[in-house]
Structure 1
Amino acid sequence: MRKRTAGKQRSTVFDDVYRTMVQKMPELMIPLINEVFHTDYPEDIEKAQLRNEHLEIQRKLITDSILNISGKTYHIECQSTPDGQMALRMFEYGAAIALEETHQHPADIVPERIRFPFAAVLYLRNTEHMPDELTVIIELPDGREMPYRVPLIKVQAFSLDEIFQKRLFLFLPFYILRYEKDCAVIEQDGARLGKLLDEYKRMSEALNEVLSAENHEDRYGDLTRLIVRITDYILRDYRQAKKGVHTTMGGRVLELYSERLLRRGKAEGKAEGKAEGKAEGKAEATLSTLRSLVKKGLISISVAAKELGVSEEAFKKMAML
């Protein structure tokens, strides 16, 4: 992924967020693969993440994400800005991946063909003349021409409703990019700022509803933090807009997330204590939940100590922090 620059320093925020989702929440890649390649994989299908470093004779190629699903290899690159060399790069990546898989055959078996991965490029920003696919024409010595095509996925082409309908939650952290050019106007226009905040409120409530119903509170919290990370970066020079979106997504929503986990811990502790005929089960489950929330940065030590009815020092000792 090509990075967006901030001053003289290059930011890796888009790379970091995308790769965090790929590595820690690979199930988010499945709806994207289904959308691009017209497959119908369930999100919990078994998948293997393949290594993203591929050695060539003179250099090392590093790809963004490669998954193997049902014996098929899927390679998706993420780009924040247009790259005139992207078609050639995708061919290089595809050839390196195909050759690497071919070399995995036993030495005494010479495969008669090599298989390129299913490949696509995820573009976080749209441009006016961006095509729907990249194409490289391969000219063979006998005069034949073979097109190598890679589809483009334009994140900003998907509305919020489409994102939720197709479960493309991978797009949510980058949703703010569609407002990037209008940030200065939004900062000064109360009506437009209100519209932006309403949209993020709708996003948070829909995400909360969907993932809570599926008992995926951890994924909900992780995604929310990534959404906040990107919006904080894009809106870093716009105090009102940043504060509003941060409060909507990073404050109220994470508070709901932590409260839900705390309630669950109390309920489990109560059931455990009842089953054992004593209160220790309840106290231990509540302490465990509070410890987890503190470590994830969702609540402070002071809030956890108050909830447990002890001093901060006592909580630190009990939670072994």
Structure 2
Amino acid sequence: MDEEKHNKELLKEQVKGNENKDKVKLDIVLKYLFSTSEKVLIKLLNGVFNENFNVDEVKISVSNNEFVDSDLNIIRGDVFFNMLNQDDSKVNYHIEFQTKNDNTMVIRMFEYGFNKGKEDLNTNNQNKNTQDDMKTIYFPRQRVIFFEENREIEDILKLRIIFSDNQKIIYTVPVMKYWEYTDEELIEKKMYPLLPLQLFNLRKELDKAQRKNDINRIKELSLQARGIASKIAKESQELLQENEILHQDFHKMLLAIQNLIEYLNRNYFKDERIEEEVITMTKTLYDPEVEKKGIEKGIEKGIEKGMEKAIGLMLKKGMDAETIAETLEVSLDEVNKVKNRKQ
């Protein structure tokens, strides 16, 4: 009996370990999707926070997400960004990813926000331009993105804070309910990196089918996953062709699709063919784009070399730089660069 009990405990730990691995895997995919190019990230933040930043007028950078609490423990938020305007003013943004409902989420958001504000107060001296000497902590603009549908999740997380003198404040964090967005709506709001997560919307139905041991339903959802993966990949390719995303963004989105299919297959489908099909499909879409990019670069280099040769020959014949620039419809700087190299 003791041995049987021990084996059950081991199995329980193994299952728990696998669940943790899956959570880590999803976290990695999410953070990976938030490491896309600068212009794509700015558009994404515009969509998530209802902002209207011009990609040519601001700079975005990932900022520190680790803080030390009063017990010297490390607390980690998901992603923090700095948005720097042309006038050097800065706005902080903070996004947390949450798969399931969590009643402690608002408290953790307050901790993250307070620590980020305290960090900026210490490092940037944000109050140097104020009229008084009162220290001020600026919380970042915050959002929690919930991915798994749950009726109990409110549109805004709220926390009432009451001080000893009965002063009260209500701290709030808006919520984005991912499951309410279709792929078309994500594209319309330019939240492109979130497109692959459409696959994650299947998880709730898959959990239900798995609990009922409904094999036919799982097969139906497997076919649905194939369809979603193909549609999202092709939509991503169209965004690339429209210059809405870069090649590096396209590659990351395709890899995210592959990883999410792998996650769903390992946990629900148990069908090796689906992973092979999706990998083949994404490779078929990606490889021609890489080849096309290489051809375009080759053409550009060829044109550049041909122009340099023409300028060189005209210089050799004794033509002046202004005449060459006018004849070839190039800038005077380009002619002078070739001229300087020849000397």
TM-score, normalization: structure 1? 0.74
User: Could you tell me how far 1:131 is from its partner in structure 2?
Assistant: 0.7
Partner deviation per Cα, 1:181-225 (whole Å, 9 max, x = no partner) = 334589636766544433332222211111122172221122111
**In structure 2, what is the Cα distance between the partners aligned to 1:218 and 1:108?**
39
Structure with bigger helix share is 2
Contact persistence 1:228–1:246 (CA under 8 A): no
Out of 110, 113, 128, which is 1:91 matched to? 110
Contact persistence 1:187–1:193 (CA under 8 A): no
Q: Which residue of 2 aligns with 1:281?
A: none
Query: Is it true that 1:261 corresponds to 2:290 in the alignment?
Result: yes
Q: Which of 1 and 2 has higher RCO (CA within 8 Å, sep 6+)?
A: 2
The 1:259/1:100 distance shift into structure 2, 3 A limit, reads same
Query: What is the aligned-residue identity percentage?
Result: 20
The 1:22/1:275 distance shift into structure 2, 3 A limit, reads closer
Out of 231, 252, 255, which is 2:261 matched to? 231
Q: How does 1:178-197 map to 2 (within 5 A)?
A: 178-183=201-206, 184=209, 188=216, 193-197=222-226
Out of 78, 83, 88, which is 2:97 matched to? 78
Contact persistence 1:21–1:170 (CA under 8 A): yes
Query: Is it true that 1:49 corresponds to 2:83 in the alignment?
Result: no
Q: What number of residue pairs does the alignment pair up? A: 271
Q: Which residue of 1 aligns with 2:139?
A: 116
The 1:6/1:266 distance shift into structure 2, 3 A limit, reads farther
| Amino acid paired to 1:8 | G
User: Could you tell me how far 1:135 is from its partner in structure 2?
Assistant: 0.6
Q: Equivalent residue of 1:103, what SS? A: helix
**In structure 2, what is the Cα distance between the partners aligned to 1:193 and 1:108?**
55
Which is greater in Rg? 2
Q: Which residue of 2 aligns with 1:165?
A: 188
> After the TM superposition, which of the residue ranges 112-121 and 175-184 deviates more from structure 2?
175-184
**In structure 2, what is the Cα distance between the partners aligned to 1:8 and 1:266?**
47
Contact persistence 1:187–1:238 (CA under 8 A): no
**In structure 2, what is the Cα distance between the partners aligned to 1:51 and 1:107?**
17
Contact persistence 1:102–1:111 (CA under 8 A): no
Partner deviation per Cα, 1:109-144 (whole Å, 9 max, x = no partner) = 654322111111111212121111111111133323
**In structure 2, what is the Cα distance between the partners aligned to 1:221 and 1:108?**
42
Contact persistence 1:197–1:244 (CA under 8 A): yes
| Amino acid paired to 1:57 | S
TM-score, normalization: structure 2? 0.69
The 1:198/1:48 distance shift into structure 2, 3 A limit, reads closer
Query: Is it true that 1:13 corresponds to 2:25 in the alignment?
Result: yes
User: Could you tell me how far 1:148 is from its partner in structure 2?
Assistant: 0.4
User: Could you tell me how far 1:179 is from its partner in structure 2?
Assistant: 1.1
**In structure 1, what is the Cα distance between the partners aligned to 2:293 and 2:127?**
57
The 1:264/1:101 distance shift into structure 2, 3 A limit, reads closer
Q: Which residue of 2 aligns with 1:23?
A: 35
User: Could you tell me how far 1:43 is from its partner in structure 2?
Assistant: 4.3
Question: RMSD in angstroms over aligned alpha carbons?
Answer: 2.9
Query: Is it true that 1:211 corresponds to 2:237 in the alignment?
Result: no
Q: Equivalent residue of 2:59, what SS? A: coil
